[in-house]
Structure formats: structure tokens, C-alpha cells
Amino acid sequence: MTVPTPHISAKQGDFAKTVLMPGDPLRAKFIAENFLENPVLVNNVRGVQGYTGTYKGKRVSVMASGMGQPSIGIYSYELFHFYGVENIIRVGSCGSFDKDLHVQDVVLAQGACTNGNYAAQYRLPGTFAPIASFSLLSRAVEECQKAGVTYKVGNILSSDTFYDDANSGMEWAKMGVLGVEMESAALYCNAARAGKNALCICTVSDSFLYPEENLTAEERQTSFTKMIQIALELA
């Protein structure tokens, strides 16, 4: 396939080698306008805003993924395969299952469990375990420590269901899974298949154990500055 693709209107070379990928297009716009120098809008198909600018002299892009594994599966696939992107860092929100994680703490997703079926496309003779790029993960740990950020490294659940009729979240917690979001497993699968690098950094936006701490939608768009700065330092 050549570019533009059906989902991205950018030209070849419009994206940097590293792309930050929040779920929300408004968060992508917030990152571009508040953290990047001279950001240029390179994609706005379906309102999924993508920008390229510089951070501390380094060329960096940011583009939204939308919600869920099918959506990030499309955008990350096209970025890896058609636009020469080498690193995608998801900067998202998650719900926490962990007693030590509170709202605004950071989760570095070493691995991504899932109740979805994204990896079935690879026809593997077993169960694939989607994991992060160790090089990005280890550097993210260093950045968290330098910044004094409260963080945990571990497994996260990429769920295909936001409204979970079985209310199964705490069952995953029994296996040490730290929290739940909806995208990372597909991103990690795409990175593995393409031979590229991916990492999910999530800020806890709500807690199964401390619901009184939960953030509003507006707070999720604009208050995750620690996570964003950590991701930008990896670019």
C-alpha cells in the first residue's frame, strides 16, 4: 500500500520516527500545543489528529489511536508499515486494580493480557504473550525515577469490553494484573510483527478500589503531564 492510506492523509516523511499515541484526539492536540515546538497538523482524517514538531530539538509526532484494539491496530499498523515509524509510545489512561496505585500514578505496561482475539490473525500454534520493548521500558523506568514519579511496572489488561457484564476486573488482579485499558495488546502485537518498538505508559484515571478519586473526562485530557514528559524524553 502507498501513502496516503485510507485512514491517514499524511505524506511520506510527515511523521517522526517516534510517535506518541494517546487514545483521545483532544489529548493529541493538547500534547502538540503544549509540549511540541512548531507543531504541524499532518493528519485529520475522521478527526484523528496527528501532529509533528520538535521536543528539545528532537523531531517527535503525536497522533490519536481512538478507542479499542481494532482502532489502534489500524493506526499503528499503518505507521509502522507505511510511514517508517520505529517507536510508538501509547500515552493513555487506565483503571487500577492495585491497592498501591492511586489516581495520577503511572503504570508502565511490561506485558498486556487481553480478553480479545487480535492475535488470532497470526495463526500461531499457541497463545502469544504481547510485551513491551525492553529498551523503551528500561529507559521509562529511569525517567520515572529521575522525575520522582510514583509508578509500577507489570501486566495490564487490554479489554475489549468497557462495560463488563461479568465484572471480572478483580479476577485479573488475582494474577497480579495492575489495571485495565483497551489498546496495548494490539499495539504490542503489531510492533512484534513489524520488528518495531512499542511501550504503553498509562496514568491511573480511576480505581476499582478508590472510586472517590476518579477523574473527569476533562481532567484526563489535560492533567497527565508527568506521563507525557516521560514519553517525550524517550523520543
Q: Report residue 11 as a C-alpha cell.
A: 505524506
Q: Report residue 48 as a C-alpha cell.
A: 484523528
Those residues with Cβ within 8 angstroms of residue 38's Cβ, 6 or more apart along the chain or in another chain: 53, 54
State the Cα–Cα distance between residues 195 and 88, nearest whole angstrom.
12
Q: Which of 169, 205, 15, 215 is nearest to 91 (CA)?
A: 205
State the Cα–Cα distance between residues 138 and 153, nearest whole angstrom.
10
Question: Which amino acid is residue 36, in one-letter code?
Answer: L
Catalytically active residues are 206
